[in-house]
Amino acid sequence: MKLTAVDQTSRPSMIRDITLAPSGHRKIEWVSRHMPVLNILKTEFEKDQPLAGKRIAMCLHLEAKTAYLALTLRAAGAEVVVCASNPLSTQDDVVAALVEKGVTAFAWHGATPEEYDMHIAKALDCEPDALIDDGGDLVGMLHRERPAQARKIMGGCEETTTGILRLKAMEREGSLLFPMMAVNDAFMKYLFDNRYGTGQSVWDGIMRTTNLVVAGKTVVVAGYGWCGKGVSMRAKGLGARVIVTEIDPIKANEALLDGFEVMPMQQAATEGDVFITVTGNVNVIRREHMAVMKDNAILANAGHFDVEVSKPDLEASAVSRRTLKNNIEEYLLPDGRRLYFLAEGRLVNLAAGDGHPAEVMDLSFSLQALSLLYMLENRERLLPRVYNVPEEIDRKVAELRLRSLGVEIDRLTEEQERYLASWQL
């Protein structure tokens, strides 16, 4: 039996194997040395205990940086319960280390869809006061299956674009039952995490999985949002020819002036060696595109859900499939062409890599911690809506980051302040 039930905390965890913990502790130690802003906050929290008596459920990619956020919330006095936001991004050694540190965990790598849902349900059974979600699965289950429990939740924070789209849909139809902070939409999140984090880690995941050269290849990036900009920028830096596909004319213009070719997917499909979807949308690469792709084309997704490359279409197009190496699935088409699908279409940077660099997640998770505190402190006046992260929190994280790097910036003089505030020169 792959399940290990561990009862080291007040609650039993469900994880793969507690004996994996030593390597998890070392991974967490490594990232903690590269997350200076979170370290400053952790020191403050240890003293002030702002989350004492609160139980927080976190549904995030369970790897070392997230683990360090969980430990930071624990240092703030919270009881912390974690479950996964993706079955393939969970690192079993990190989860084991968290349990040894007193966090309750329900997750293992490669959970089936039923196990994945069961883990989320178990986390909710712990009756959290507040939550941190990544993609909306925790909030979704609360609203679909447990409305009475949802009404008792104080609120939460959402990490990613896709989760915020879902929350805004719930807000529009009046079904959202508690306040949620849109952490993704803070400047110190999307400008760095989505752009530079995804930009670097997607290539890390693809390169370590395929061990192929990027220079000289034609890379097709579907979606020129914040993630797509980063993925395209780093592809260019690695020496690739980059084609962008978009549905938004403004983003398409941006891509053109950033120096990329823009064309519809049907045309790009004939030219690409590597395809990366990062749209947050469904069926962006479909059967008609697969029908014209080159032999050996590589398909990967970096959007939140594994729906951007149509798996049913890939299955239907192929006469056979086999696993060639870890995270590379080969699909043989009737005419002899082979398409290679990475990490089952899950976020390639997390399912086939370690996710974003620690320095980047330092910013995102500092925003998470501060937004959670803000939400709890202001709960009385917050309605069941989606709230932007206050500018003071964005600026605090930006300033702490600069301080940790030893970088100073100029301050406005009084004359400059007056000038900027006046209309009569």
Ligand X SMILES: NC(=O)c1ccc[n+]([C@@H]2O[C@H](COP(=O)([O-])OP(=O)(O)OC[C@H]3O[C@@H](n4cnc5c(N)ncnc54)[C@H](O)[C@@H]3O)[C@@H](O)[C@H]2O)c1
Burial class (CB in 10 A: 0-12, 13-18, 19+), 20: middle
Say whether residue 194 binds ligand X (CB under 6 A).
yes
Element (H, E) at 230: helix 226-237
- Taking contact as CB under 6 A, which single stretch among the options 90-98, 145-153, 347-355, 410-418 is the one that binds ligand X? 347-355
Element (H, E) at 365: helix 358-377
For 6: left if phi > 0, alpha if psi spans -120 to 50, otherwise beta; the answer is beta
Pick the stretch among 8-16, 25-33, 103-111, 221-229 that binds ligand X (CB under 6 A): 221-229
- Least Å from the CB of residue 148 to ligand X: 29
Would you count residue 182 as binding ligand X (CB under 6 A)? no
Of 347, 358, 376, 393, the residue at the interface with ligand X (CB under 6 A) is 347
Is 160 or 310 the residue whose CB approaches ligand X more closely?
160
Task: Count the residues of the shown chain that bind ligand X, applying the rule CB under 6 A.
Answer: 29
Verify binding: residue 288, ligand X, rule CB under 6 A. Answer: no
Which of 302, 361, 397, 398 touches ligand X by CB under 6 A?
A: 302
* Residue 238: CB minimum distance to ligand X, A: 17
Binding of ligand X by 136 (CB under 6 A): no
Partnered with residue 412 across adjacent β-strands are none
Task: Return all residues near 83 (Cβ < 8 A) that are at least 6 apart.
Answer: 57, 58, 59, 62, 105, 106, 107, 119, 120, 122, 123, 138
Question: Per rule CB under 6 A, is residue 123 in the interface with ligand X?
Answer: no
Q: Tell me the residue type at 331.
A: Y
If one asks whether residue 357 binds ligand X (CB under 6 A), the answer comes out as: no
What contacts 65, CB < 8 A, 6 or more positions away?
A: 31, 35, 355, 356, 358, 361, 362, 365
Q: Which is nearer to ligand X, 78 or 138 (CB)?
A: 138
E strand segments, 346-403: 386-388
Task: Report the residue from 90, 91, 161, 371 that binds ligand X according to the rule CB under 6 A.
Answer: 161
146 vs 251, beta carbon nearer ligand X: 251
From the list 231, 236, 144, 243, the residue with the least C-alpha distance to 194 is 231
Provide the minimum distance between the beta carbon of 366 and ligand X in the complex, in angstroms, as a whole number: 16
Q: Give the tokens for residue 186.
A: 């803070």
62 interacts with ligand X by CB under 6 A: no
Beta partners for 56? 80, 130
Provide the binding-site residues for ligand X, judged by CB under 6 A: 160-162, 190, 194, 198, 222-228, 245-248, 251, 278-281, 284, 302-304, 347, 349-350
